[in-house]
Amino acid sequence: MKTTFVKYLLKTGMALMVIVSFACSKTEPSLKDAFKDHFLIGAAINTEQIMGTDSLAHLVLIKHFNALTGENAMKWERIHPLPGNYYFTLSDSLVSFAQRNGMFVTGHTLLWHHQTPKWVFEDTAGKPLTRDSLLAVLKDHIFTVVGRYKGKVQSWDVVNEALEENGSLRKTKWLEIIGNDYIEKAFEYAKEADPDAELYYNDYNIETAPKRDSALKLISTLKAKGIKIDGVGIQGHYHLDFPVLADIDSAIRAFGNLGVKVMFTELDINILPKPENFTGANISDNYELRPEMNPYANGLPDSASKQLADRYADMFNIFIKYPDIISRITFWGIHDGQSWLNNWPIRGRTNYPLLFDRNYKPKQAFYSVINTVKK
Ligand code: GLA
């Protein structure tokens, strides 16, 4: 008798849980629907999410997002790790998932100084390539990758992070071997490979001077030379107190005034303590893990959750003022557990930078973002 009663309770309890979670997800608002009159809502996705081995990912993506970026899937070291060897399994899956679900894809990224194999810049004897040979390598890469996805990938981050903090051109192998016009060349090759794709310049900290002025100059120079550039991606790896809202607001207008689309392409908010004087998004930065630098290892207190929610609301209150300039807001990840900010710039921390928690449940920040358009 007793066991039957327990079984009955378990059964009805479980049924109730299913009904509750179904009802919740039914009534839970959708991010992409909330902002459908403003801009696309994107997510950067990792291997498990692309391949569907992380089973919840596809449900959440379909419900909340209408734009996709591969977190790593299309970077040079993944797609073209050895001379003449291209690996398209992951990027093909991403693109076909996006096609099946009517999502906008941004190929990230064609030219960058990180996550690019050494061989790209060297001949078989290990000597630096000449300008012409490196241009030929770049052209082959862009033609092969962009060509494969012609008409399927709607946009490309053609060049990533070409500027230093002081606004000068970053000292990379691309600059050293090809010279100042390597950026133009990359854009020209991309346009030749797919004339209909949108082409972007993508970088971090371009909301604030002096880097912002250089980014503005770079874009206007390309345009003046007749080179096709359709947009600028502001990465948006933010902190609770950096950058100040006024800089975000005026950067949107300044880039918009050049006649290019503005996108926030890698949005997240790092709520953990910063190493001293640290602001950028340079992936090679690495500082020591000390306990005081990892204060929320056992969970996020309400006060911090509210701070994050308020910061997101402040930012979205700016974004929604510019539906004619901003075309897309992409988060760098779907949920907190997958974020690179758990390991950067300090390895092994527990961070909470996104709108969904480690179980793909919407956080307070999710609702504060949605509420900016529900007022
Ligand atoms: C930069 C790159 C991204 C990614 C992040 C960290 O912002 O553009 O591709 O590597 O760093 O994940």
3-state secondary structure 347-372: CCCCCCCCCECCCCCECHHHHHHHHH
- Whether residue 17 is predicted with pLDDT greater than 60 in this model: the reply is no
Residue nearest to atom 5 of ligand 1 (CA): 283
323-332 pLDDT, tens per residue?
999 999 999 9
Count CB atoms within 10 A of the CB of residue 208. Answer: 17
Task: Kindly report the protein residue whose alpha carbon is nearest to atom 8 of ligand 1.
Answer: 160
Ligand 1 center–CA 2 separation, angstroms: 57
pLDDT at residue 375 in the model: 64
Q: Alpha-carbon distance 155 to 199, whole Å?
A: 6
Query: Would you say the CB of residue 340 lies under 6 angstroms from ligand 1?
Result: yes
Q: Which two tokens stand for residue 146?
A: 């962009």
pLDDT at 320: 98
Average pLDDT for 139-168: 98
Q: φ and ψ at 251, to 5 degrees?
A: -65, -40
Q: Which atom of ligand 1 sits closest to the CA of residue 115? A: 10
- The correct answer on CATH 3.40.50.620 for the domain covering 31-371 is no
Cα–Cα distance for residue pair 186/20, rounded to 1 Å: 52
Using the mean position of ligand 1's atoms as its centre, give its distance from the Cα of residue 279 in Å: 14
Q: What percent of the chain has pLDDT over 70?
A: 93
- By the 10 Å C-beta count (0-12 exposed, 13-18 middle, 19+ buried), 83 is classed as exposed
pTM, to two decimals: 0.93
**What CA–CA distance (Å, rounded) separates 347 from 290?**
10
Using pLDDT thresholds of 50, 70 and 90, give the confidence band for residue 297: very high
Mean of pLDDT values over 84-99: 98
CA-closest residue to ligand 1 atom 3: 71
Whether the Cβ atoms of residue 267 and residue 236 lie closer than 8 Å to each other: yes
DSSP 163: B
Active site residues: 161, 266
Q: Confirm or reject: Cβ of 281 under 6 Å from ligand 1.
A: yes
Judge whether residue 283 has pLDDT over 70.
yes
Ligand 1: nearest atom to the Cα of 160: 8
- pLDDT for 38 equals 98
CA–chain centroid gap for 93, Å, is 18
Token output for 238: 């933010």
Q: How far apart are CA 330 and CA 103, in angstroms?
A: 12
- Ligand 1 geometric centre to CA of 125 (Å): 31
Average predicted confidence (pLDDT) for the chain = 93
- For the CA of 75, the closest atom of ligand 1 is 9
Find out whether 94 and 142 touch, Cβ atoms under 8 Å. Answer: no
Cα(199)–Cα(196) distance, rounded to whole angstroms? 9
pLDDT of residue 14: 45
- Report DSSP letters for 308-348, one per residue: HHHHHHHHHHHHTT-TTTEEEEEESSSBGGG-GGGTSSBTT
- Contact in structure between 45 and 70 (CB atoms under 8 Å): yes
pLDDT at 20 over 70: no
pLDDT over threshold 80, residue 10: no
pLDDT value for 13: 44
Mean pLDDT of 96-111: 98
Residue type, 89: T
d(CA 297, CA 49): 24
pLDDT of 141 strictly over 70: yes
pLDDT for residue 26:
63
User: 161: CA distance to ligand 1 center in Å?
Assistant: 10
Q: Is the pLDDT of residue 16 over 50?
A: no
Helices and strands, counts by H and E, the chain: 13, 9
Q: 283 alpha carbon to ligand 1 midpoint, in Å?
A: 7
Q: What is the 3-state secondary structure (H, E, C) of 140-151?
A: HHHHHHHHHCCC
Of 52-56, 67-71, 172-176, least confident by mean pLDDT is: 52-56
User: Which residue ranges make up each domain of the chain?
Assistant: 31-371
User: 177-235, pLDDT tens digit by residue?
Assistant: 999 999 999 999 999 999 999 999 999 999 999 999 999 999 999 999 999 999 999 99
pLDDT of residue 21: 46
CA distance 163 to 169: 5
Residue pair 163/203 in contact (Cβ under 8 Å)? The answer is yes
The pLDDT, as a whole number, for residue 25 is 61
- Of ligand 1's listed atoms, the one at least distance from the Cα of 283 is 11
Residue 35 has pLDDT above 70, yes or no: yes
